[in-house]
Amino acid sequence: MSSLDKMLKVLDLFGEDRMSIQLDDVQAAGASRATAYRYIQSLCDSGLLAPTTGGSYVLGPRIIELDRLVRRADPLLTRAGGPMRDVSARLGINVMLCSYYGDKVMCADIVWPERSVPEYYERGRPMPMFRGAMAKTILAHLTPYQLRNIMLWHGELVREAGLGENWEQFRSNMSRLRRDGYCITRGEVIPDLVGIGAPVFDAERRVLGSVVFALPEARFQSAGKEELVAEIKTLAARITSAIAGEAGVRPAQRAARPRKIRSPVPEDASSVE
């Protein structure tokens, strides 16, 4: 691992349970005191970190600037927003756009008109990798190489999620979801909430993320599975088509490969879908 990689790993120290860090935290991650200070100083100079009281450091203003650019330039966000809001307004249904990188699945955008369901989700919050329609939809469309690595690295989590006791079962379950073209989960992350997801691809048919309906069980029963599945698949296809149409202007972005989980998803994230 290069010194640049090690410096960027400082950003991995932040999470739901740690909003600020200190020099000692960077040292505890394996850097000498002089090196830890140099990393922090460089990250502060770039605006990725900012000093605060008591010798602590928080995420810096450069991240706000980068987030604005992501919202304006990321094909997944720019091409999905309009179709999501159209469908949400027409059906009066909650819609989420989900993305992933490394070992994290997260909500990238959200439209939440059905206020009877608490808004558990927010942009950027990491979610379980093996539970819920948002994650399983993405997982099913990774390459066999990626899936095999996931089974090697996270076999226990795969088994706990009921996705297979071994590689053959895991591969078979993922193949079935991929053939179906959608995923339905019930209460896997939030009790009594149904998730209906479909995959979103880039111009080269690599999975970029998923689009998901989130609705109460009673609404799911009254609306009907077939109608909702048709709607989510049409929405996903519409977003994928828009992204593919943009590929002639900008190169399609390659989805990040999964990596070994180095720190588990915070416990409070396991209580929300």
| Residues 52 and 58: beta-carbon distance below 8 Å | yes
Q: Per-residue pLDDT tens for 98-117? A: 998 877 889 999 999 988 77
Q: How confident is residue 191, by pLDDT bands cut at 50, 70 and 90? A: confident
For the residues 129-140, what does the mean pLDDT come to? 94
For the residues 229-249, what does the mean pLDDT come to? 88
Cβ-in-10-Å burial (0-12, 13-18, 19+) of 224 comes to exposed
Taking the C-alpha atoms of residue 273 and residue 127, their distance in angstroms, rounded to an integer, is 7
Strand partners for 96 = 110, 212
This prediction has a pTM of 0.81
For the residues 63-89, what does the mean pLDDT come to? 95
Q: Which residue is listed with tokens 């599945």?
A: 229
Q: How many CB atoms lie within 10 A of CB 235?
A: 24
What is the three-state SS of 164-223? Answer: CCCHHHHHHHHHHHHHHCCEEEECCCCCCEEEEEEEEECCCCCEEEEEEEEEEHHHHHHH
